[in-house]
Amino acid sequence: MTPSLGVCYYPEHWPEEWWAEDARRMAEAGLAWVRIGEFAWSRMEPAPGELDLGWLDRAIDTLGAAGLKVVLGTPTATPPRWMVTRHPDMLPVDASGRRRGFGSRRHYDFSHPGYREECARIVTILARRYGRNPHVAAWQTDNEYACHDTTLSYSEAALHAFRDWLARKYQSPQALNRAWGNVFWSMEYAGFDEIGLPNLTVTEPNPAHVMDFRRFASDQVVAFNRLQTEIIRQFSDAPIAHNYMGRVTGFDHFATGADLDIAAWDSYPLGFLSDRLEAPAAHKRRYLRQGDPDFQAFHHDLYRAVGRGRWWVMEQQPGPVNWAPWNPAPLPGMARLWAWEAFAHGAEAVLYFRWRQAPFGQEQQHAGLLRPDSAPAPALAEAAQVAREVAAMGEVAPARAAVALVFDYESAWAWETQPQGRDFDWFRLAFAAYRALRSLGLSIDILPPDTGDLSGYRLVLAPGIATLSERLKAALPGVGGEVILGPRTNARTRDFAIPTAPLPPAIPGLDAVVALAESLPPDIEHPLPRGGAIRHWLERLEGGAEVVERTAEGWPVLLRAGRVLYLGGWPDDAAFRRLLAEACARVGIATTDLPEGLRLRDTAALRFAFNYAPEPVEHEGRTIPAAGVAWWPRG
């Protein structure tokens, strides 16, 4: 498929006389898509039941007349003020028991039945009215579930829904007591109506209680989203997307993804580098205006998996954002590079956020493709360049990678619930593995945790999966080369207890148990004689399995049983890179020693190179400028 570009637009922010000219300029820049509507509830329904959709009809007509395809957002992330008067208890409650207020966005509780009904009502109105509109070519549900820390709410509505969820899951309080281990500290319950939410306890709540609350909260997001997709599908055949975020693990995106046609995400590389990444200060300085070389690609690959192949970037940073601790401007060329990188990873569309910078409201300092005075901002020319280049290239067909990484949201919750060491963060571990692979020049597929067939991959990584699914466990021996598990694999049962017979990791065929595990402060390292060191986490492995590698003290750290390897610690960047390079060599995957900041991605026909470095780099006889993109036929 030939990828396309677009932009996010807020017709309700601008005089109607401007719309046609805006649409003309969008089309002139080569944009194909325009997303609208996702925050406009107060203009769609200014007072309860009083609809005003004439302006939206005209906005869609105007954009459509310019040849643009509309993505229509449901406005449920921004319930208007009257809604809160109608349902005062729809506001979410934070972990310290304070109700969160009106005055920004996402001020709703996923569990509130009254608010769900209001959402069903407005989505039905929009789907009925625009479901067959020839210009509405896609839908977006809500906006960035979980953003601003909104998955968990400790409200009355959540409490009642949680008790129902537990009753359905366990059937009897005795079964729940057994599963949670409530004999510990006399936590036993006699009925489901005695169970509270796991906040405001004197010291830490039972981790099994927390885990079930996390699963429940994730299910509430899934149900909230499904309510909307089921309505839209009654009236429209257009594909439905949701725009996810970067490094958000609070709900199971694979589960919401099953109800959607397209997984989209919102990519703000400079904001994310500044506020969502653990990295040395020198790294943040070097990539200040380009973003981390792997963070975007990681999410591209993740959301390709969540979307079962169909994915977009719904919002692409065009210039400085407003919300990170510091908000630098991208290097010239980055607004182009980011779009091309998404296309090389298989994105169907990339939409810049936003058309014109807003002179009012919370995001006044957030750049758009236009300045507030409607003059072009720097990214407009870069977007137009990408549009021309894409038109010239035609189809960009993704290719299956030789290497895969398993991503598991439940493991993120598990290790947040019981990190055992302050910096044991599951995303961080998975991302470290990904970064090491990418630094070897590899393209990577990300797989869901219930993957049942690994035979198409020569190397599969599944670090830190708290409970291996039966499907994945059964698929391990069938991997097309090697699979590397650990640390902390299978360290918990589904009930969040340590399995005792046998002890973890209980991998069929691997004669090994974790006899002891320790977490380590960040300045402690256990060197590996062949290069690099173990940090954060180190296990003492016992058993008769073949030892592939030991720490300098002689403790086994990498074990093997046939095609399955188990890593009993968290390797630092140098160790990860070396271990994975060695694994690649064993399974016949060619690796490349890339200049710092250069990254590669293969499509079916082409090899793309992206230079995140602030200086030109040399690669295979080519010079790639700072913030430059290059591509050539795959050898």
Dist CA 352 CA 314 (whole Å):
7
Tokens of 343: 């296309």
Residues identified as active-site = 144, 315
> What is the closest distance, in whole angstroms, from the C-beta atom of residue 316 to ligand GAL in the complex?
10
Given the structure tokens 């203009």, which residue do they identify? 43
Neighbours of 544 (CB within 10 A): 10
Q: Which stretch binds ligand GAL (CB under 6 A): 140-148, 198-206, 289-297, 371-379?
A: 140-148
Name the DSSP letter for residue 110.
T
> What is the closest distance, in whole angstroms, from the C-beta atom of residue 273 to ligand GAL in the complex?
14
Q: Which stretch binds ligand GAL (CB under 6 A): 45-53, 142-150, 173-181, 498-506?
A: 142-150
* By the rule CB under 6 A, 143 interacts with ligand GAL: yes
494-512 exposure pattern, b = at least 16 Cβ within 10 A, e = fewer: eebeeeeeebbbbbeebeb
> What is the closest distance, in whole angstroms, from the C-beta atom of residue 210 to ligand GAL in the complex?
27
Q: Which is nearer to ligand GAL, 93 or 321 (CB)?
A: 321
Please name the amino acid found at residue 614. Answer: P
> What is the closest distance, in whole angstroms, from the C-beta atom of residue 44 to ligand GAL in the complex?
17
Q: Which is nearer to ligand GAL, 75 or 569 (CB)?
A: 75
Q: Which stretch binds ligand GAL (CB under 6 A): 141-149, 561-569, 583-591, 598-606?
A: 141-149
3 state DSSP class of 487: coil
Instruction: With CA atoms as reference, report the closest residue to 506 among 454, 463, 566.
Output: 566
578-599 exposure pattern, b = at least 16 Cβ within 10 A, e = fewer: bbbbebbeebebebeebeebbb
* Total residues binding ligand GAL (CB under 6 A): 11
> What is the closest distance, in whole angstroms, from the C-beta atom of residue 323 to ligand GAL in the complex?
6
> What is the closest distance, in whole angstroms, from the C-beta atom of residue 287 to ligand GAL in the complex?
18
* By the rule CB under 6 A, 144 interacts with ligand GAL: yes
Given the structure tokens 């991997």, which residue do they identify? 479
| Residue 469-508 contact track with ligand GAL, rule CB under 6 A, x = bound | ----------------------------------------
Given the structure tokens 């589960």, which residue do they identify? 255
> What is the closest distance, in whole angstroms, from the C-beta atom of residue 317 to ligand GAL in the complex?
7
Candidates 353, 407, 413, 426; binder of ligand GAL (CB under 6 A) is 353
State the DSSP string of 119-184.
HHHHHHHHHHHHTT-TTEEEEE-SS-TTTTT-S---SHHHHHHHHHHHHHHHSSHHHHHHHHTTTG
Neighbours of 631 (CB within 10 A): 18
Q: Which is nearer to ligand GAL, 91 or 321 (CB)?
A: 321
> What is the closest distance, in whole angstroms, from the C-beta atom of residue 268 to ligand GAL in the complex?
5
Tokens of 330: 């991208």
> What is the closest distance, in whole angstroms, from the C-beta atom of residue 452 to ligand GAL in the complex?
34
Dist CA 571 CA 533 (whole Å):
6
Q: Which stretch binds ligand GAL (CB under 6 A): 23-31, 139-147, 211-219, 501-509?
A: 139-147
Q: Which is nearer to ligand GAL, 79 or 505 (CB)?
A: 79
Q: Which is nearer to ligand GAL, 367 or 432 (CB)?
A: 367
Handedness of CA 280, 285, 286, 289 (dihedral sign): positive
> What is the closest distance, in whole angstroms, from the C-beta atom of residue 119 to ligand GAL in the complex?
18
* By the rule CB under 6 A, 366 interacts with ligand GAL: yes
Give Cα separations from 388 to 2, 63, 318, 373, 393 (angstroms).
12, 21, 18, 26, 9
* By the rule CB under 6 A, 142 interacts with ligand GAL: no
355-386 exposure pattern, b = at least 16 Cβ within 10 A, e = fewer: bbbbeeeeeeebbbbbbeeeeebbbbebbbbb
Dist CA 209 CA 496 (whole Å):
9
3 state DSSP class of 429: helix
Q: Which is nearer to ligand GAL, 107 or 163 (CB)?
A: 107
Residue 308 CB partners (closer than 8 Å, separation 6+): 257
Q: Which is nearer to ligand GAL, 363 or 525 (CB)?
A: 363
Q: Which is nearer to ligand GAL, 223 or 324 (CB)?
A: 324
Q: Which is nearer to ligand GAL, 144 or 408 (CB)?
A: 144
Task: Restricting to residues 213-272, name those near ligand GAL by CB under 6 A.
Answer: 266, 268
| Residue 278-317 contact track with ligand GAL, rule CB under 6 A, x = bound | -------------------------------------x--
Neighbours of 531 (CB within 10 A): 14
Given the structure tokens 């990791």, which residue do they identify? 505
Q: Which is nearer to ligand GAL, 321 or 617 (CB)?
A: 321
Tokens of 395: 């189809």
- Asked whether 39 and 381 are in contact (CB, 8 A), the reply is no
Neighbours of 189 (CB within 10 A): 16
Tokens of 20: 């046609």
Residues of this chain that interact with ligand GAL (CB under 6 A) are 143-144, 147, 266, 268, 315, 321, 323, 353, 363, 366
